[in-house]
Amino acid sequence: MTTRRELEHRYKELTALPDQWNSWEELMRLAMEDAAAAEALGEVPVGALLVAPDGTILARAHNRTITDNDPTAHAEVLALRQAATTLQNYRIEDAVLVVTLEPCLMCTGALVHARVRGIVYGTADPRTGVVDSAMQALELPFHNHAIWHTGGILRDECAEQLSAFFRRRRMEQKN
Ligand SMILES: [Zn+2]
């Protein structure tokens, strides 16, 4: 039987902040920089990174769907591909994904396949976010891998980055 103490220990391990970093906010700011790079390309500003427990950034990526003509080129998927190539392993165990927007169904599925340890997101996506909002996809009973997750890290700043982009785009379409 698993004791309460073992469970608490496991939870502490799961939720541990990677070495070398002072807060999830600090990592989220890096992801926001990547989101800004997406925006510069005319892409919806979403940025993501994967961080190892020792604090190493394994990958940094941003949305490239329009640029690459690729519906799967979400920041999360691109970060997974980058890290998997670097590690020469399709499993990116123990890594945590930090992303400015709550992941969609495709990305959440990919993150389960990659066996990441955790998902830390900025602002919620009430329409297509499936960690907490539109559904709780990580809680589906058939997954063979559980992922720790938390949201709302720099929520207002991440939300503002996105809404400023859509505001600007609406203005441009009007003119
Ligand atoms: Zn996605």
Inter-axis angle of helices 75-87 and 105-114, nearest 10: 20
Which of the following is catalytic: 76, 139, 160, 172? 76
Q: Which residues surround ligand 1, an ion (CB under 5 A)?
A: 74, 104, 107
Q: Which long-range contacts (CB under 8 A, 24 or more apart) does 78-82 make?
A: 78/48, 79/48, 79/49, 79/50, 80/50, 80/110, 80/111, 80/114, 82/50, 82/58
- 51-94 pLDDT, tens per residue? 999 999 999 999 999 999 999 999 999 999 999 999 999 999 99
76 in catalytic set: yes
Alpha-helical (H) ranges within the chain are 4-15, 24-40, 65-68, 75-87, 105-114, 155-174
What pLDDT, on the 0 to 100 scale, is given for residue 143? Answer: 84
Number of H helices, E strands in the chain: 6, 5
- Name the DSSP letter for residue 18: P
**Distance from residue 7's CA to the centre of ligand 1 (Å):** 31
Question: Whole-angstrom Cα distance, residue 33 to residue 161?
Answer: 10
**Distance from residue 3's CA to the centre of ligand 1 (Å):** 37
pLDDT reading at 25 higher than 90: yes
**Distance from residue 175's CA to the centre of ligand 1 (Å):** 30
- Could you tell me if 102 and 151 are in contact, meaning their C-beta atoms sit under 8 angstroms apart? yes
**Distance from residue 51's CA to the centre of ligand 1 (Å):** 18
**Distance from residue 2's CA to the centre of ligand 1 (Å):** 35
Overall pTM surpassing 0.75 (yes/no): yes
The sign of the torsion formed by the CA atoms of 51, 52, 56, 59 equals negative
What pLDDT, on the 0 to 100 scale, is given for residue 145? Answer: 87
- 97-147 pLDDT, tens per residue? 999 999 999 999 999 999 999 999 999 999 999 999 999 999 998 888 889
